Structure 1
Amino acid sequence: MPKKFIWGLVACGTFLLLVIGLGLATQLNRDRSSHVMTQQRRPLIMVAGSNSTKTDFDAIIKSLTAQHPHPVVNVTVTADQQVKVQSKRVKNTALNDTLIVIFFEDSTDSNANIVKQTDGLAKALTTIKRQLHLKTANALGYSNGGLIWSRYVANLAASTPVKIHDLMLLGTPFRGTDAQHPDNQLYQPLMTHRNAFKSLHAVVNVAGDTSHGDDNVVPLTSVTAGGKLFMNGQTRYTQMTVNLKNISHGTLLQERYVARLVRQNLVNQ
């Protein structure tokens, strides 16, 4: 075989390797700049609503950890307001990558218990702040969990030691679940203290709609009442509706679209 031909093959092979290497480097750089690999800026703390279980956020956690490893901290607030913390560490991850789930043993659906849970949330965050040196976080509240977070940010708890940066609410019944007879017992104190919400950087308020004006439990009007609380000229407020024929209040946390919203608005912010 002529030497010129052999050297030609070597040159072509070298050129192809350079092109492939450059392509891989470019793709890796793109991946690092995409939402999948963006470094999380602060932990995400999740609170569910009434009659909740410890597994309510499992679908969202599974979706988030499928693309990036996250330490998970499970916090239980007992019926007598004691705080228990269990953490699952992941090698080479930082505090900001942490997903924190706060579970209330007593999540009875009543206004009085939501007030009690708000104080329980304050105690849980005080404990987390001490143990994990937590200073700021993003927050996700599902159903009445959104009311608990709103009360906490509005300084209606015993103490507020952790600054919440971004807040997402899913199916939160700000004015109860009866569209004909709105419940303002918890809503009016939030309106009175709505100036406290100016401390938030952004709020995303998500409602489910079966096309009948509710998610089979919470009316759209009850969810959208949150706009009067958070549209204050300083906080970035986004209100959206997930329209699906078969959606229900109980399945909001299992919707893939909701998991994407959590990633985009809370994990990558």
Structure 2
Amino acid sequence: MPKKVMWGLIACGTFLLLIIGLGLATQLKSDRSSHVITQQKRPLIMIAGSNSTPNNFDDIIKALNAQHRHPVINVTVTANQTIQFKENRVENTHLNDALIVIYFKNSADTNANIVTQTNGLAKAMAYLKKRVHLKTANALGYSNGGLIWSRYVAGLATTKPVPIHDLMLIGTPFLGTDERQPDHDLYDPLLKRKDHFKSLHAVVNVAGDTSKGDDNVVPLSSVTAGGKLFMNTAGRYTQMTVNVKNISHGNLLQERYVARLVRQNLVNQ
């Protein structure tokens, strides 16, 4: 083989290897960047409302796990306010990837019990600080769970709550469930302490609507009363209504759109 041809082949081979190497390096950098973008910056802690079960958030967890498998931590607050802990780990994941469900065995629908549950939440959060070194979190509150989170952030159960970055509320009855006789017992203390909500980076307040001004349980006016608490206090406040045929308060957590909202506003933030 002539030397010129041989050296030409060597030059072409070297150039090809260089191109492949640059391509692999670019892909690796892209993969790393993608991982950083999709990785959670903090765990997500979820609380349901009255007459809840440990499985209220199973559909949301399943939807979130469809794209990225998360470790799941279940914290149970017993009727006498003791803490039970269960953890399902996932290899090569961090606490920030975790989905944490706090379940109250006594979730009776009374104002007095919501106060008790808020105290239980404070104990659960203090436990998580010690057990898994929790420093901050995003939060999701469904129905009365939204009231419990709001009371906790407002410092009504502890003077040093764990910092909550982003908060989503779904079907939260800030003024109860009777539009003609709004219940201010839990709402007014929040109004007096609304300055505490300045610590929140973003709040998303979601209501369900059957097109009759309620979700068959909670009036829209009760949910939207959250605007007076968070608007112009939290860094960003977004209020939205989910209007789907046959929607009801009881199935809000099963709506696929709600799962997408959770991913967009709480998991990818």
TM over 0.5: yes
- Stretch deviating more after TM superposition (225-234 or 94-103): 225-234
1:32–1:38 Cα contact (<8 Å) kept: no
1:122–1:159 Cα contact (<8 Å) kept: no
Q: Deviations over 1:240-267 (max 9, x none)?
A: 0001121000000001100010000000
Over the matched positions of the two proteins, sequence identity in percent amounts to 72
Report the count of equivalent residues.
256
Structure 1 residue runs of 5 or longer lacking an equivalent are: 1-10
Partners in 1 of 2:49 and 2:226 — Cα distance? 16
Partners in 2 of 1:34 and 1:246 — Cα distance? 38
User: Which amino acid is 2:206 matched to?
Assistant: V
2:45–2:139 Cα contact (<8 Å) kept: yes
Match of 2:66 in 1: 66
Match of 2:220 in 1: 220
Counterpart mapping for 1:88-127 below 5 A: 88-127=88-127
Q: Is the counterpart of residue 52 in structure 1 residue 52 in structure 2?
A: yes
2:153–2:161 Cα contact (<8 Å) kept: no
Match of 1:5 in 2: none
Match of 1:166 in 2: 166
Could you say what secondary structure the match of 1:93 adopts? coil
Shift of 1:35: 9.5
2:194–2:233 Cα contact (<8 Å) kept: no
Q: Deviations over 1:180-206 (max 9, x none)?
A: 110000000000000000000000000
Q: Are the structure 2 counterparts of residues 229 and 81 from structure 1 closer, same or farther at C-alpha, using a change threshold of 3 Å?
A: same
1:36–1:68 Cα contact (<8 Å) kept: no
Partners in 2 of 1:25 and 1:63 — Cα distance? 32
2:203–2:234 Cα contact (<8 Å) kept: no
Partners in 1 of 2:243 and 2:172 — Cα distance? 16
Shift of 1:29: 7.1
Partners in 1 of 2:31 and 2:177 — Cα distance? 43
Could you say what secondary structure the match of 1:87 adopts? strand
RMSD: 2.3
1:122–1:161 Cα contact (<8 Å) kept: yes
Q: Are the structure 2 counterparts of residues 252 and 28 from structure 1 closer, same or farther at C-alpha, using a change threshold of 3 Å?
A: farther
Q: Are the structure 2 counterparts of residues 123 and 234 from structure 1 closer, same or farther at C-alpha, using a change threshold of 3 Å?
A: closer
User: Which amino acid is 2:150 matched to?
Assistant: S
User: Which amino acid is 2:244 matched to?
Assistant: L
Shift of 1:234: 4.8
Q: Is the counterpart of residue 246 in structure 1 residue 246 in structure 2?
A: yes
1:79–1:104 Cα contact (<8 Å) kept: yes
Could you say what secondary structure the match of 1:177 adopts? coil
Match of 2:8 in 1: none
1:141–1:147 Cα contact (<8 Å) kept: yes
User: Which amino acid is 1:40 matched to?
Assistant: Q
Q: Deviations over 1:111-159 (max 9, x none)?
A: 0000000000000000001000010000000000000000000000145
1:173–1:222 Cα contact (<8 Å) kept: yes
> TM-score with structure 1 length normalisation?
0.88
Could you say what secondary structure the match of 2:237 adopts? strand
Counterpart mapping for 1:131-210 below 5 A: 131-210=131-210
Partners in 2 of 1:159 and 1:122 — Cα distance? 10
> TM-score with structure 2 length normalisation?
0.88
Shift of 1:160: 3.5
1:210–1:248 Cα contact (<8 Å) kept: yes
Q: Are the structure 2 counterparts of residues 218 and 203 from structure 1 closer, same or farther at C-alpha, using a change threshold of 3 Å?
A: same
Could you say what secondary structure the match of 2:152 adopts? helix
User: Which amino acid is 2:76 matched to?
Assistant: T
Q: Are the structure 2 counterparts of residues 28 and 244 from structure 1 closer, same or farther at C-alpha, using a change threshold of 3 Å?
A: farther
Could you say what secondary structure the match of 2:157 adopts? coil
Partners in 1 of 2:36 and 2:206 — Cα distance? 22
